[in-house]
Amino acid sequence: MDYNFLKIENNDGITILKISAPKSLNALNSTILKELGDFVDNIDPATRVLIITGDGEKSFVAGADISEMAHLNEQEGYEFGKLGAKVFRTIETLPIPVIAAVNGFALGGGCELAMCCDIRIASVKAKFGQPEVGLGIIPGFSGTYRLPKLIGQGYAKEMIYTGKIIRADEALRIGLVNSIHEPEELLPAALEMAKKMLACAPVAISLAKQSINENYDLDAPASLELESKLFGKCFATADQKEGMAAFLEKRPAKFEGK
């Protein structure tokens, strides 16, 4: 599929994906969501870390495209929300780490896109929010599910009920992002983090992600059982044999993702 709104860079196991719709500050319409869904469904198998960012200096993703949503009826609104939620869930469950490098506005669907990534780092100029109630709607791409999980119900309800928009330093304080950086340092910081991940065992990272994601809604006994099973699976991998042999032999490990 040819993409009109995505820019893709592949480099030694790291893929950088830029949402690129500058006239709308990278707002998500159904076309962009379908392109994004096709991309993640067919991601280059050589990709070991995915970085998602926005094209341009002002915006990560400014939200969903209001010019498209304004004319939707109830059924069409449902279908639009389901499309976004499905694509974001696919990103969340990719078997590789996904880093959101939030370079500007991350509002509405943009905040929801950032939240479905494993890790969020932000420019000092970034702004986050779920301002949908000011438009007569609610977050529709899983924001009411993920935001309380990340920052707690109280603050999530305040942000959603008031449409409050917060700056990067506040997002850092409440745990919505992991770190903040000067704009010119944001992508290098994401790449530095990605390279650290490349040095580790790919299968182990994938299983760790699976454990964290699936534990999201489990009770303690089920969660501990799942972790034990996935821990056991590691011992059937060549990466585990190599990693432990390298440690005992005091040499760098050479992982092959097997």
Res 224: pLDDT: 95
Indicate whether 193 and 237 sit together in one domain. Answer: no
Q: Is residue 141 part of a domain?
A: yes
Q: Environment class of residue 110 by beta-carbon count within 10 Å: exposed (0-12), middle (13-18) or buried (19+)?
A: buried
Q: Is residue 258, in this structure, part of any structural domain at all?
A: no
- For residue 226, the domain's CATH number is 1.10.12.10
Domain residues for the domain of 59 are: 6-198
128 in any annotated domain: yes
pLDDT at position 57 is 85
Is residue 51 in some structural domain? Answer: yes
112 assigned to active site: yes
Torsion of CA 55, 60, 63, 64, to 10 degrees: 40
Q: Do 177 and 154 share a structural domain?
A: yes
Same domain, 29 and 57: yes
CATH code of the domain in which 55 resides: 3.90.226.10
Q: Which one of 68, 79, 92, 132 is the catalytic residue?
A: 132
Asked if 60 contacts 107 with a C-beta cutoff of 8 angstroms, the reply is no
Shared domain for 49 and 96, answered yes or no, is: yes
Mean pLDDT of residues grouped by 10 in the chain (258 residues)? 94 96 95 97 96 95 93 96 97 98 97 98 98 97 97 97 98 98 98 97 96 92 95 95 94 91
Residue 84 identity = G
In this structure, the number of other CB atoms found within 10 A of the CB of residue 14 comes to: 20
Q: How far apart are CA 58 and CA 78, in angstroms?
A: 30
The whole-angstrom separation of Cα 93 and Cα 131 is 26
What angle is formed at CA 25 by the lines to CA 5 and CA 95, rounded to 5 degrees?
55
191 and 207 co-located in one domain: no
pLDDT at 45: 94
Domain end point (choices 172, 198, 224): 198
Domain edge (last residue) among 157, 181, 198: 198
Q: How far, in Å, CA of 250 to CA of 223, rounded?
A: 34
Amino acid present at 250:
K
| pLDDT in the model for residue 1 | 79
The answer to whether residue 28 is domain-embedded is yes
Q: What three-state secondary structure class fits 236?
A: coil
235 HSE (CA, 13 A, CB side) = 4
Helix (H, G, I), strand (E, B) or coil at 38: helix
Say if residues 53 and 102 touch (Cβ distance below 8 Å).
Answer: yes
- 187 and 208 in one domain? no
Residue 111: closest CA among 57, 61, 170: 61
Helix (H, G, I), strand (E, B) or coil at 35: helix
203 CA to centre of own chain: 19
- What is the three-class DSSP state of 172? helix
The domain total for the chain is: 2
Tokens linked to 34: 């379908």
Task: Say which of 35, 92, 112, 227 is annotated catalytic.
Answer: 112
- Dist CA 54 CA 158 (whole Å): 26
In the annotation, is 68 catalytic? no
